[in-house]
Structure 1
């Protein structure tokens, strides 16, 4: 499989295909990176940065538009997630990081069964109502990437990182169906702790029990 050299932007974010990502560019090295990006494909890689380094699977961000250019070179931009990739090697010849990457897509291109989609949507609606009562964002159940639409709203970084590495929509929806109930339970316990906290000093035991 051939590789492609792309600019790399490590962030405390897991970008998913189709997800919007607004960015404020202010560091000098990333100003240089954006100048190169805008002069080329308008695409760069986003990878999750951890304390011990970066992960090896990420997603490219395509610059949809420049919202504002400041006199000192800073930029406000709006990007969206496009292509998933795996890092083969890193390149540090420039002020910013680059990587030779292999792009990948789903290996199983069959549509996920309707029953699986409906079950994932049911859990999504449960959690989104819990986190934002009265406001339920509605992914499109017929979307071939329903899992990514659901995940961008409700699961944590570690689970998003697992999800982005899976190469089947069936696998991703199954993963969400297993993951969301535990997350719902955790959020419910946190809500209970917040209600109990003003009344006594033992709220932490409600969360950890």
Structure 2
């Protein structure tokens, strides 16, 4: 069953559960944010990649309007809710300035294989010791959720979109594991197989 959703296409990945700040300056999106604030509607952020609208995006809700400038521009906070696949897209919703479309909701499950969670957690912590731009794991492996770490493990924008597109938590964990293992192998080659005091986790 198709669902109507206002749209705000962006070159941005928003994962479910994640909060992000946005700067709103176009009139059409000012209109959208005012409607969200007045009536509590949600909107979709379909991902733009290489100036093309990708089929997968994330429904978001307005958390807060943090600042309103003299010209009506706004600094806002949003939160990711559900993933969707675009069925139809129109540049202008009826009687509105902003785009809209019809979407199908995609399944969202956090059920995961604990063995995969432990392997990914070990890989992240190993990379953290080697690379400052990879965050350490501060949660038990059983509480590891892929969308919580999608921005923090060195994935490119296209890889983050791929992660968003995968349907199960196990698929996403496997994708992250493969990525982290490849990054560790690159580091191993860079240092001629020697990590000084660091060792690869036992898989």
For 2:71, what is the secondary structure of its paired residue?
coil
Contact preservation (8 Å) 1:120, 1:173: yes
Counterpart contact for 2:124–2:137, Cα < 8 Å: no
* Kept in 2: contact 1:16–1:152 (CA 8 A): no
> TM-score, normalised to structure 2's length?
0.80
Q: Which residue matches 1:11?
A: 10
Distance 1:151 1:125 in 2: 15
**What is the CA RMSD across the aligned residues, in angstroms?**
2.7
Partner deviation per Cα, 1:21-54 (whole Å, 9 max, x = no partner)? 1111111221112112222334211122123411
Distance in 2, Cα, partners of 1:28 & 1:188: 51
> CA offsets per residue over residues 133-158 of structure 1, 9 Å max, x none?
79635355333x61111213122211
Identify the residue that residue 69 of structure 1 maps to in structure 2. Answer: 68
Q: CA deviation at 1:73?
A: 1.0
Matched, 1:48 2:33: no
Structure 1 residues 30, 187: closer, same or farther in 2, change over 3 A?
Answer: farther
Other-structure match for 1:127: 127
Higher helix share: 1
Q: Distance in 2 between matches of 1:110 and 1:63?
A: 23
| 5+ residue gaps, structure 1 | 192-209
Provide the residue aligned with 1:35 in structure 2: 34
In structure 2, relative to structure 1, the CA distance for the partners of 1:51 and 1:62 (3 Å cut) is same
In structure 2, the partner of 1:104 is: 106
State the alpha-carbon separation in 1 of the partners of residues 17 and 110 from structure 2: 19
Match of 1:21 in 2: 20
Q: Pick which of 89-98 and 167-176 moved more.
A: 89-98
Structure 1 pair 57–25 and aligned structure 2 pair: CA distance change class (3 A): same
Shifted more, 33-42 versus 6-15: the winner is: 33-42
Give the distance between the partners of 2:134 and 2:48, measured in 1 at CA: 34
Asked if the contact 1:91/1:100 (under 8 Å) is kept, the reply is no
TM-score by length of 1: 0.78
Aligned positions, number: 188
What SS is found at the alignment partner of 2:142? coil
